[in-house]
Structure 1
């Protein structure tokens, strides 16, 4: 897939930026991956807190995608943008009904499935120590289990989330289940198998290798 200029993706390891890195590998778009450390030392040039990076992403988070003079800073917005640059990849559907389903699942993943993971992460390491509440870990586990049960009702036994076509929803799901396992949440075996199956795709393997 050709594009006027290579995209620049600023990201870090298995963070949400992996979603964008994987999507880029699926599309074949030319890009430069710029490893950006999630460090608080603003003097380090590759730090997400360095002034040069904050000029791109005022939150000091990853990922950030740069395409010419366009800058995007939210992982799902970035994945959707990448998918639309390469429609032949079919990462995002085009019909109204299929797109509605895509939107439903992507919103659910962000608002329900991911939320308890990041809540735990914030209270594990991201927040200042005096703001952390370890007691909320049980609440996060409760919310995760509830979200997984709801997901069971949203998905069927198809190979992919949208039926017979791999899409960016599968990227989001596989990444989120991997995140959940790393954070020691209870992930049903069928979703571990889903993660493993999608992580075995050539594009996912290339994305994983680039982080090593």
Structure 2
């Protein structure tokens, strides 16, 4: 059984969602970012950490990629053009969407108060909105970013959509992006993950 170490309402949600989609059993050990427990596994203090037997894995995108590759689901095979396009969506999300959200979070609560720059959050909201426009242009006609195939790229993007709501960033209320995020939230694995998050919060 896999073990996720980290507070559920963090990037740990991505790993939980992947494991729900895979149908793999897991347990969650809540631990706060920068806590002594996390620092024993990850010098950056970031969550989540995944334990797979004796192996320790850090950084949520790497963990999700590992799980998808290991189980042969939620991803295209490495070395294929489809995988390169899938990875492009993942990297785009980390750069354009998560980058804006994380910078806003660091200047709201994550960084020490004396180094926060609250004014930067306006620029973060602008960057996030611009990223959404790019995502809409790239989305195409399929239900997911890779057409008919649901992948970990959708999970990373979907998590950022929920993060945006919590951060009070605007998401489209109609149109193709609104429909896309709605499809992600309607997936049974997403709903199972959210039920566990709420139960542990």
TM-score (norm 1): 0.86
Task: Tell me the SS of whatever aligns to 1:114.
Answer: helix
Could you tell me which of 23, 31, 53 is aligned with 2:38? 53
Q: How is 1:2-151 mapped onto 2 (pairs within 5 angstroms)?
A: 6-38=1-33, 48-50=34-36, 52-87=37-72, 90-94=73-77, 96-151=80-135
Task: Tell me the SS of whatever aligns to 1:9.
Answer: strand
Q: Which segment drifts farther, 18-27 or 94-103?
A: 94-103
Gaps of 5+ in 1: 1-5, 39-47
8 Å Cα contact 2:87/2:153 also seen in 1: no
Task: Tell me the SS of whatever aligns to 1:107.
Answer: helix
Structure showing greater radius of gyration is: 1
Gaps of 5+ in 2: none
Task: Tell me the SS of whatever aligns to 1:164.
Answer: coil
* Separation in structure 1 between the aligned mates of residue 4 and residue 56 of structure 2, nearest angstrom: 10
Residue deviations 1:20-47, cap 9 Å, x none? 0000011112222212234xxxxxxxxx
* Separation in structure 2 between the aligned mates of residue 71 and residue 61 of structure 1, nearest angstrom: 13
8 Å Cα contact 1:177/1:192 also seen in 2: no
Q: Which residue of the partner structure matches residue 153 of structure 2?
A: 169
Q: Give RMSD over aligned pairs.
A: 1.5
